[in-house]
Structure 1
Amino acid sequence: MAFWFPHSDSSDSNKFGLLASPQACVGPAGYEFIMGGVAQAAAIEAAEIVADKALLWSTIQFVNAGLLNQSIEIEVELLGGGRSISQVLVTLTAGGKVLQTMSAALGGRLGTERQFVSMPTVAAPEDCPIRTDLDHNNDQDLIAQFERRIAIESADDGLGAMWIRSNDALPITAGLLAITSDFMLGLHPESFRGTSLDNTFRVFSTRPTEWILCVTQMSGFRDGAAMGVTHQFTQDGQLLSVSSQTGLLPRSENRR
Structure 2
Amino acid sequence: MFGGSGLGAAIAAMEGTSGRPLVWATAQYLSFAQVETIVDIDVTLAVHGQKTTQARAVGHVGGTEIITVNAALGSRTFPRDKTYGSPPEVEQPNDCPLRERFSGVTDSLDSRIEQRWALPVGAKKPSELEPGRIAVWSRMPELLEPSAASFAVLGDYVPMGISFTQNGQAGSTSLDNTLRVIQVVPSDWYLLDIRVDAISNGFGHGVIHIWSIDGELCAIGSQSCIVRSRKPGEHSPPKRLVEASDQSSATIKKSNL
Q: TM above 0.5, one fold?
A: yes
Which 4+ stretches in 1 moved above 6 angstroms? none
Higher strand share: 1
**Relative contact order, CA 8 A, sep 6+: which one is greater?**
2
Give the whole-Å Cα distance in 1 for the aligned partners of 2:52 and 2:19: 10
1:114-165: per-residue Cα shift (whole Å, max 9, x none)?
A: 01021111100011110012x3243321122111001153187100100001
Give the aligned residue type for 2:111: A
Q: TM-score, normalised by structure 1?
A: 0.82
Of the three residues 161, 182, 194, the one matched with 1:216 is 194
Give the aligned residue type for 1:224: G
Residue equivalent to 1:38: 5
Residue equivalent to 1:205: 183
* Secondary structure, aligned partner of 2:145: coil
* Pairing 1:128–2:128 present: no
Q: Structure 2 matches for 1:125-204, cutoff 5 A?
A: 125-133=93-101, 135-152=102-119, 153-154=127-128, 157-168=131-142, 170-189=144-163, 190=166, 193-204=171-182
Give the aligned residue type for 2:212: T
Give the whole-Å Cα distance in 1 for the aligned partners of 2:11 and 2:35: 20
* Pairing 1:77–2:55 present: no
Residue equivalent to 2:243: none
Preserved CA contact (<8 Å) 2:10 2:57: yes
Structure 1, unaligned runs of 5 or more: 1-33
Of the three residues 206, 215, 226, the one matched with 1:248 is 226
Preserved CA contact (<8 Å) 2:180 2:220: yes
- Offset at 1:193? 2.9
- Equivalenced residues, count: 221
* Secondary structure, aligned partner of 1:154: coil
Of the three residues 57, 66, 90, the one matched with 1:99 is 66
Q: TM-score, normalised by structure 2?
A: 0.82
* Secondary structure, aligned partner of 2:118: strand
Percent of paired sites with the same residue: 29
Question: Measured at CA, do residues 73 and 139 of structure 1 come closer, stay the same or move farther in structure 2, by a change above 3 Å?
Answer: same
